[in-house]
């Protein structure tokens, strides 16, 4: 692509901004677009369940439309939804939050990431991003004309850990932000309380903003009871800490298409994010916010049912993968992904493309998730057994074929 305007037939043809060309495209989406042109694909590449949104949430949206929630709302979201989010944190984490000054409703988790990151980075600043990670965090940093610096999670035995030495080495005078995701997409890694504390201490010591992406906190299989959330980092931090927590209704309530999320942050950042919302999206749709409020209040039983299904899916896929040649799968404690490592695999995109063409199974290539991702593939196990069973059989057949890697 030309970076300067060109002339053609006496006309100047404007070109796109140079800076936008530095934004990487999503290699998950690239693979998905090949798959979308094919019939009969078992689709496990996107991070979503094939379960519809529970009926009581859909009903709440219909009632909200009837009740007149068809107008703009506050930039920070409906006060009643922000109160419901504050109550939710009090109940699940014993963390008191001020719904007026510390909570901003957003039109999705990805919009919360956008507005949060935009609030702390100037062009040329650097952001440390723990990877392998959902690519959007690093891409949003690049969209803001800043520089993502990827720090891979090393695998230590059966568990991913945080490389604190690498973090120390990566800090420069331009570093302003550290981004991590727990539970992680794609690893399923869950930060321990000790790791959370060290990430917080590290950020405090270097004067960095810490962004915790906690959108999968309810999809947790290692708590005392199924349904217990991963303890939020908000339990450790004070409200004066330079902390931002991003969340979403998408994963917990099967609401990916609704586009409602939230941001919790120090009051000055929350205020600025509210102001920027006006220029990005103004507000999430009012009726979707109202339905989200009902989801928070009445969704607990559905969450436990969903978790039992997800846990069974996870265990089924882990057992299937254990039988496959050259495959090692670290056991995840959260989210709904497996990230098996395949011995000898150097080009995970090519592997996924051939798997798609030969076996009609759509997985996400590890390379899509940044440093440390190549050599692995991501399986989203939120689908039904009727999809997972044939997908595992076909993956095994492919891995046993002549040239799998």
Ligand X SMILES: Cc1ncc(COP(=O)(O)O)c(C=O)c1O
Site for ligand X, rule CB under 6 A = 47, 108-110, 134, 181, 185, 213, 215, 248, 250, 256, 261
For the chain, helix, strand, coil in percent to 5 are: 40, 15, 40
- Which residue is closest to ligand X by CB? 109
Q: How far is the CB of 178 from ligand X (least distance, A)?
A: 15
| Phi and psi at residue 107, to the nearest 5° | -90, 60
291-307: burial string, b at 16+ Cβ within 10 Å, e else: bbbbbbeebeebbeebb
Q: CB of 335 within 8 A of CB of 185?
A: yes
The length of the chain in residues reads 405
104 SS3 class? strand
Q: Which is nearer to ligand X, 42 or 284 (CB)?
A: 284
- Output 144 or 213, the one with its CB closest to ligand X: 213
Residue 350 CA to residue 358 CA, distance in Å, equals: 12
- Shortest Cβ 405–ligand X spacing (Å): 26
CA 61 to chain centre: 25
Q: Which is nearer to ligand X, 192 or 256 (CB)?
A: 256
Residue placing its CB nearer to ligand X in the complex, 181 or 376: 181
Question: Considering the complex, what minimum distance in angstroms separates the CB of residue 214 from ligand X?
Answer: 9
DSSP-based three-state secondary structure for 139: helix
**128 vs 324 by CB, closer to ligand X:** 128
CB of 180 to ligand X, least distance (A): 10
Choice between 140 and 147, CB closer to ligand X = 140
Token pair in block for residue 192: 């321990």
Nearest CA to 289 out of 89, 107, 111 is that of 107
Closest distance of CB 85 from ligand X, Å: 14
Smallest separation (angstroms) from ligand X to the CB of 401 = 31
Question: Cis omega before residue 145 (within 30°)?
Answer: no
Contacts of 373 (CB under 8 A, 6+ apart): 131, 132, 186, 348, 365, 366, 367
Min CB(278)–ligand X separation in Å: 20
Contact 214, 199 (CB under 8 A): no
Specify the residue, 99 or 261, whose C-beta has the smaller distance to ligand X: 261
């Amino acid at each position: 692509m030309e970076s300067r305007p060109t002339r053609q037939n006496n006309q100047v043809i404007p070109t796109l901004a140079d800076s936008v060309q530095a934004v990487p495209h999503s290699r998950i989406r690239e693979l998905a677009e090949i798959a979308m042109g094919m019939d009969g694909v078992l689709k496990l590449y996107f991070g979503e369940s094939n379960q519809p949104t529970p009926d009581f949430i859909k009903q709440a949206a219909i009632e909200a439309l009837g009740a007149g929630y068809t107008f703009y709302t506050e930039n920070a979201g409906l006060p009643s939804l922000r109160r419901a989010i504050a109550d939710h944190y009090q109940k699940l984490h014993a963390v008191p939050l001020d719904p007026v000054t510390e909570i901003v409703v957003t039109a999705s988790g990805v919009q919360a990431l956008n507005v949060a990151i935009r609030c702390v980075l100037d062009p040329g600043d650097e952001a440390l991003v723990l990877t392998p990670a959902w690519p959007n965090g690093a891409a949003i940093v690049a969209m803001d004309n800043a520089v993502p610096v990827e720090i891979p999670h090393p695998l230590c035995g059966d568990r991913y850990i945080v490389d604190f030495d690498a973090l120390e080495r990566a800090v420069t005078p331009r570093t302003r932000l550290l981004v991590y995701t727990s539970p992680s997409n794609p690893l399923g890694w869950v930060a321990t309380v000790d790791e959370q504390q060290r990430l917080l201490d590290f950020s405090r010591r270097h004067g960095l903003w810490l962004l915790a992406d906690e959108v999968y906190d309810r999809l947790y299989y290692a708590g005392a009871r199924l349904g217990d959330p991963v303890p939020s980092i908000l339990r450790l931090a004070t409200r004066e800490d330079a902390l931002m927590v991003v969340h979403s209704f998408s994963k917990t309530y099967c609401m990916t298409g609704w586009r409602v999320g939230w941001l919790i942050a120090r009051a000055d950042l929350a205020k600025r994010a509210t102001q920027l919302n006006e220029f990005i999206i103004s507000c999430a749709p009012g009726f979707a916010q109202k339905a989200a409020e009902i989801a928070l209040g009445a969704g607990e039983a559905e969450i436990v049912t969903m978790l039992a299904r997800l846990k069974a899916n996870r265990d089924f896929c882990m057992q299937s993968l254990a039988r496959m040649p050259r495959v090692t799968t670290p056991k995840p404690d959260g989210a709904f992904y497996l990230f098996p490592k395949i011995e000898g695999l150097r080009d995970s995109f090519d592997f996924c493309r051939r798997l798609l063409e030969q076996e009609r199974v759509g997985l996400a290539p590890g390379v899509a998730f940044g440093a440390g991702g190549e050599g692995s593939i991501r399986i989203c196990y939120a689908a039904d057994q009727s999809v997972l069973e044939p997908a595992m059989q076909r993956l095994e057949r492919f891995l046993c074929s002549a040239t799998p890697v």
